[in-house]
Structure 1
């Protein structure tokens, strides 16, 4: 504002100097030209008077404009009184202030008001309304598909993994030990007994899926539907095999760990017998007895296996001194411990309800075997069999079963 105040008087002073009263013109020696000089001097006088009048009017107008602009800035915005037709809005205020500083004539006011009205109309263009401009402001979207996360079974980490190039894996189970005895120096040495052997076969079951999609959706989709579908099939196959590792009945699938019990789908399938099942309520003393009921060679590498529901019940148990028997891990990636042994969570294990086998404990690497015929998903992309559909034919072959019934024990809640 100070810049405007200083600039206007300076300009007026310069103009006044140019139009000030000139010194009288002397025409001595010119004779007959005296009249012409007098006419020129009279004309210049008229021009000077008119110019001075206009300069005074301009100076008065600028003083009024400067005063108005000072009042606007002091008030923090344009808020005229007296029923002005100018809209009270920030954009118009800035435009009007710029108009005042420019020194444009009053005839521009109607044009400025028209601009204010057009600005109000333009303000009606809104992102919230599709027809009024919302289509011009699209939202950025994630070119992926979100879904609920699925818990991953630890069985593949705990069990023994065997990859084969044929459809099954076989091993021998030894029943009994060689006979022996004490003898004297010259005593006869009769024949002793020898162990018996029985085969155990782990046949590979097969998981398959055959979803289809049109070629057009595969071409036009903004995400890679083919890659997304393959990843979803991989997740689904993992879910299927994790269920089978615990509860599979062996029909075209692995035999589940929990089925090697009396009355289970794999009852009597192992030549060494079924798993030991202990029926006990969950308490500190019973858990200690249950843990030490496992033979020492297996207990050295033993792990607890249970669901989150069972783990929640165990975290509240305290020993006779009031100490919690559950210990949360202080190291990232390391499992919690129960009575000094690591705990693995498998949501496929039953909860701690009456009649459920809710806890497995033992050396799973020695006790359960997973047979991978092909450890990864195999995919055949078939665009020919059922046009216009493209089929994603996926398969995975895996088996599993009990390797040593002495390595793992199960705890069942009494009914």
Structure 2
């Protein structure tokens, strides 16, 4: 946790919250005003007694006046920022002053102007521009973020009610008795967020380089580390201090599917496709998914599994796998886009190496707003470490939206 040092009077204006919490700014303003009144009372008392006031009191009063002006300006800035349109997720864009202060903190460890970003866990919120860039890079690199639902929250746990079954209905004659129908079943899904961290390092000479865009550098450094850890957790995570991956759910034969389980279709052959009709299990998997999910469905597998699928043909001799139509596009399998994720298991006995479904409805990624950074110039001299953290959660949002292919007999 960052240590707070009581600023001397001449530095008090620099240490005040800059365009941050209104209550904190107002409290600072009132505290400075009380000091101003007390000092001015002393000056007036000396004027009455001696006809003149101590020059030290006059100087102190001038400095307190400057501090009051600074606090008033900060309060005015907050009022203006609150009037601006809010960004998606409810966060306002910090001004250049905070961005410059953050850059100074990263490069040299200057903290006085950063009290607006302080949080109880230590460290500071990165500027909105940097946070947005990290999110963009994660979406571009992480295959799961590209296809799953993503929700930003301000609390540590996101709760989502969902209707498992609707109310019972039925046809009835005009004068026939109406029996009482059963009520609908509503379940509540919870998505706790857990801490994900990265710790890039840089030399002080690198940070002092005026050409370095600090925000861009942090985004690029933590991007790969965050994306790698996230993707693994979203697929195979056990839910202990990390998101719960969809492969962590109980898998059952599609004929025995029930809520809180994922249905699978078996290939009929251990560790491989059926030799006689290798594409049949893929067709069965596609139609195991309801039509409402199928229109936005995506295949998910690793590159080695994709290499095996790429060899398959239909009854007319056409390859089931097709390359992307453009450099920015995705390959397709049986007309549905295919996403490659290295954390999907290789083909093996009874492995679930292929998933198919509407992941945007089937799996939810929860991001708690804000990315924090704590500067550490001591632990790894001559390098400066940047302990960067964000809170992320994830889990299945709709158990009927994702189906698995099991490489086994049944």
Question: Do both proteins adopt the same fold according to a TM-score greater than 0.5, normalized to the shorter chain?
Answer: yes
Residue 261 of structure 2 corresponds to 274
Partner Cα distance (2:176, 2:225) in 1: 67
How far 1:315 moved relative to its partner?
1.2
Cα offsets for 1:116-162 (capped at 9, x unmatched): xxxxxxxxxxxxxxxxxxxxxxxxxxxxxxxxxxx933111111110
Indicate which of 320, 337, 340 corresponds to 1:325. 320
Equivalent positions of 1:305-320 (< 5 A) are: 305-320=300-315
Q: Is the 8 A contact 1:158 1:365 kept in 2?
A: yes
Indicate which of 316, 337, 342 corresponds to 1:342. 337
Q: 1:351 to 1:393 in 2, by over 3 A?
A: same
Compare CA radii of gyration and give the structure with the larger one: 1
- Bigger drift between 218-227 and 320-329 goes to 218-227
Q: Is the 8 A contact 2:200 2:221 kept in 1?
A: no
- Bigger drift between 383-392 and 351-360 goes to 383-392
- The alignment status of 1:256 with 2:236, answered yes or no, reads no
Partner Cα distance (1:153, 1:230) in 2: 14
Q: Is the 8 A contact 1:209 1:395 kept in 2?
A: yes
Equivalent positions of 1:233-252 (< 5 A) are: 233-252=222-241
Q: Is the 8 A contact 1:237 1:396 kept in 2?
A: no
Residue 294 of structure 1 corresponds to 289
Q: 1:220 to 1:187 in 2, by over 3 A?
A: closer
Cα offsets for 1:241-277 (capped at 9, x unmatched): 11111011111211111111249xxxxxx99221112
User: What is the DSSP-based 3-state SS (H/G/I as helix, E as strand, rest coil) of the residue aligned with 1:275?
Assistant: strand
Partner Cα distance (1:186, 1:196) in 2: 29
How far 1:330 moved relative to its partner?
2.6
Partner Cα distance (2:243, 2:351) in 1: 21
Q: 1:278 to 1:383 in 2, by over 3 A?
A: same
Q: 1:184 to 1:311 in 2, by over 3 A?
A: same
How far 1:183 moved relative to its partner?
2.4
Indicate which of 355, 362, 372 corresponds to 1:367. 362
Partner Cα distance (2:339, 2:400) in 1: 20
Q: 1:262 to 1:213 in 2, by over 3 A?
A: same
How far 1:226 moved relative to its partner?
9.6
Q: Is the 8 A contact 2:199 2:222 kept in 1?
A: no
- The alignment status of 1:413 with 2:389, answered yes or no, reads no
How far 1:223 moved relative to its partner?
8.1
Partner Cα distance (1:295, 1:226) in 2: 44
Q: 1:262 to 1:323 in 2, by over 3 A?
A: closer
- The alignment status of 1:401 with 2:392, answered yes or no, reads no
How far 1:331 moved relative to its partner?
2.2
Q: 1:216 to 1:362 in 2, by over 3 A?
A: closer
Cα offsets for 1:155-184 (capped at 9, x unmatched): 111111100011111111223221122322
Partner Cα distance (2:210, 2:194) in 1: 35
Which runs of no fewer than 5 residues in structure 2 stay unpaired? Answer: 1-139
Cα offsets for 1:35-92 (capped at 9, x unmatched): xxxxxxxxxxxxxxxxxxxxxxxxxxxxxxxxxxxxxxxxxxxxxxxxxxxxxxxxxx
Partner Cα distance (1:163, 1:271) in 2: 29
Equivalent positions of 1:83-94 (< 5 A) are: none
User: What is the DSSP-based 3-state SS (H/G/I as helix, E as strand, rest coil) of the residue aligned with 2:234?
Assistant: helix
- Bigger drift between 276-285 and 365-374 goes to 276-285
Partner Cα distance (1:206, 1:360) in 2: 27
How far 1:204 moved relative to its partner?
0.6
Aligned residues: 258
